[in-house]
């Protein structure tokens, strides 16, 4: 089992030539993890960018997520095979359940068992969950065991720090993947983060990403601009001190950006 890379490129809300260019630029700059999902409608473009990059498949870490319409045991694996065809690969490195979708008509044990089956078939090297609260993570653990759940990919940013959930995941040995770490760009205008950025001669985006990395989370920021993709990568070398981390800790305000009705759980 490979560790989940700490730094990847996200493709949410990117489509067509835009996503092809973004992934191609990211791979050219040295990114080796790419995150997509069935609902993004861009798996084929991601697959094209990866194929055109010339990077060996063994060097890449590809993640996709099963959409709610495909949670039934009869549909999950076939839908994954379709995703793999679009991505031009025999397997994904990580396969996630995208949203818990309570009341979706498919119970959690059924889709977690189907997810585990995908791994047993070799179609996914690792499996995990996304947007699960503590209670639903416990239910998922009860079905497949905590060692089977590689990560919970959740929205986290300096404005939404999810301390209760992340502490629980750490306790269980489940890695945390942070998405929307820049809160749709809202953190970029934050004066506290700007002061920290000035101190380190860094960008605000680098500070926010370094904060997440220092807490042990993986990050998957997206960008359509090559210079931003390159700049974001530099967050890996930025070391924030205890004072910086304390200042960022104080920015938490439960500032959630994404919580679709019918898909999201009751948040911790």
Q: What is the pLDDT of residue 100?
A: 97
Q: In what order do the strands lie in the sheet with 218-219?
A: 9-10, 33-35, 61-66, 92-97, 124-130, 149-155, 175-179, 218-219
Residues in Cβ contact with 8 at an 8 Å cutoff, skipping those fewer than 6 apart: 31, 32, 33, 34, 35, 61, 63, 218, 219, 220
Q: Which of 31, 40, 159, 179 is catalytic?
A: 40
> Which superfamily does 9-249 belong to?
NADP-dependent oxidoreductase domain (3.20.20.100)
**Token pair of 77 as six digits:** 């694996």
222-242 average pLDDT score? 98
Q: What residues does 90 pair with on adjacent strands?
A: none
The answer to whether residues 240 and 249 touch, using CB atoms and an 8 Å cutoff, is: no
Reduced to 3 states, what is the DSSP secondary structure of residue 268? coil
- Domains of the chain by residue range: 9-249
Query: Can you give the pLDDT at residue 232?
Result: 98
Q: How confident is the model at residue 2 (pLDDT cuts 50, 70, 90)?
A: low
Instruction: Read off the pLDDT of residues 82-98 as tens digits, 9 standing for 90 and up.
Output: 999 999 999 999 999 99
Question: What predicted TM-score, i.e. pTM, was given to this entire model?
Answer: 0.97
Give the pLDDT confidence of 165-204 residue by residue, as tens digits. 999 999 999 999 999 999 999 999 999 999 999 999 999 9
Active site residue 40: yes
Over residues 117-129, mean pLDDT = 98
Over 80: is that where the pLDDT of 1 sits? no
Share of the chain above pLDDT 90, in %: 98
């Amino acid at each position: 089992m490979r560790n989940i890379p700490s730094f990847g490129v996200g493709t949410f809300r990117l489509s067509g030539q835009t996503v092809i260019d973004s992934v191609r630029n990211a791979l050219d700059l040295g990114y080796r993890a790419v995150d997509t999902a069935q609902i993004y409608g861009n798996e084929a473009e991601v697959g094209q960018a990866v194929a055109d990059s010339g990077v060996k498949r063994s060097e890449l870490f590809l993640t996709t997520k099963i959409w709610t319409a495909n949670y039934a045991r009869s549909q999950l694996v076939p839908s994954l095979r379709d995703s793999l065809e679009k991505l031009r690969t025999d397997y994904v490195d990580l396969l996630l359940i995208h949203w818990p979708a309570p009341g979706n008509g498919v119970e959690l044990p059924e889709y977690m068992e189907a997810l585990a089956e995908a791994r047993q078939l070799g179609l996914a090297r690792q499996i995990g969950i996304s947007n699960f609260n503590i209670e639903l993570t416990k239910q998922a653990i009860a079905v497949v065991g905590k060692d089977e759940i590689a990560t919970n990919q959740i929205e986290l940013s300096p404005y939404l720090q999810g301390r209760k959930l992340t502490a629980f995941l750490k306790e269980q040995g489940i890695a945390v993947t942070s998405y929307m770490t820049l809160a749709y760009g809202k953190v970029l205008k934050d004066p506290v983060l700007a002061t920290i950025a000035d101190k380190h001669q860094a960008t605000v985006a680098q500070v926010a990403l370094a904060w997440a990395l220092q807490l042990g989370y993986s990050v998957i920021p997206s960008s359509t601009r090559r210079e931003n993709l390159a700049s974001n990568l530099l967050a890996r070398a930025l070391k924030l001190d205890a004072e910086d981390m304390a200042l960022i800790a104080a920015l938490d305000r439960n500032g959630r950006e994404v919580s679709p009705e019918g898909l999201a759980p009751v948040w911790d």
